[in-house]
Amino acid sequence: MKTTLLPFLVLSMAGIGIAQNAADFGSISAPASVAPGETFTATITMTNTGANAWTSAGLYALGSESPRNNLAWLASGRVALPADPINPGDVAVFTATFTAPPTPGIYNFTWGMVQDGVQWFGPIATKRIRVGNGRFTPGDLIVVQTVATASDAISANGTALVLKNFSLSSLTTTFEVDLPINGPDAVISGTSPFTGMIDLSSDRTYLVVGGYNATLPYSTTVEAAGSPVPRVIGTINSGGDFVLNATTTPPTGFTGGTFRGAVSDGQGNLFIILETIFHRRESLRQVRAPFAT
């Protein structure tokens, strides 16, 4: 009898001994707008809802997200623990001095918990911050990017969408708009490199983009057939302001195919683009800035 039960008991005890990392997002306090290169203070709170104590020796920290490990706001991409340890049930209040990106735009200021070398865990904290007073430049190219860096992989659980104004004279990015990645106005991309196609309205006054209304990271695949994630259409004006204009109602709202993008006639009518209907348009990834001076 002992020989039979001993392996079971050992496995059960080992399973009980495996502690888990978990966190809940509390709040984020940061300015709504800053100048390019300006330093500012921001505070993010996270609650330890797991079984592990967060310690500096255990390599726990608040890490930059969207894209993961970016250095856009902080040279290290990490904010150290405000106390050591942060025990289960404790609230960690992370406060640090950040530096705004040098390029004008509207950015997602996004952070999440990480145990370096082990895992990222918990929900992300994000706030959209306007940097400077830039805008899209008439005649330049506007490119949509679904992967913010070469090392940031497209995820089945959703990928952020970024619009970049590419100057044809200087061959540099002069203005950038990160689309919302959480909240009721979120619009993210799927795994397909063709998702997130942009287009111009026929009256050439705003950009049109389609995607999925889910918070990053979504719990399952956002673009699977029958997915409960609403498909949405949004517009962006010359100043980079984003508006969510239309959303589908699952499970009947075009959930049988991959949602590629959207177009508008400029008169309030919006049209979706699915992979099975407008295959020839899927390669459109950039447009000329349409906005009049």
What are the mean pLDDT values of the chain's consecutive 10-residue runs (293 residues total)?
38 43 95 97 98 97 92 96 97 98 95 96 94 91 72 70 89 92 84 70 84 79 70 88 79 56 71 49 41 44
Q: Is residue 52 part of a domain?
A: yes
The residue length of the chain stands at 293
Residue 193 confidence (pLDDT): 61
Residue 26 confidence (pLDDT): 93
Max CA separation in the chain (angstroms)? 85
Check if the beta carbon of residue 212 is closer than 8 Å to that of residue 240. Answer: no
Q: Is residue 35 part of a domain?
A: yes
Q: Pick from 141, 123, 142, 132: which is nearest to 66 by CA?
A: 123
Residue 272 confidence (pLDDT): 65
Last residue of a domain, one of 133, 167, 186: 133
Whether the ω angle into residue 85 lies within 30 degrees of 0, i.e. cis, is yes
- The DSSP output letter for 12 is H
Give phi and psi for 16, each to the nearest 5. -65, -35
pTM of the prediction? 0.77
* Residue 116 shares a structural domain with residue 245: no
* Residue 44 shares a structural domain with residue 167: no
Q: Is 89 left (phi over 0), alpha (psi -120 to 50) or beta?
A: left
**Cα distances (angstroms) measured from residue 277 to each of 35, 65, 254, 255, 261:** 44, 35, 12, 14, 12
* Residue 158 shares a structural domain with residue 292: yes
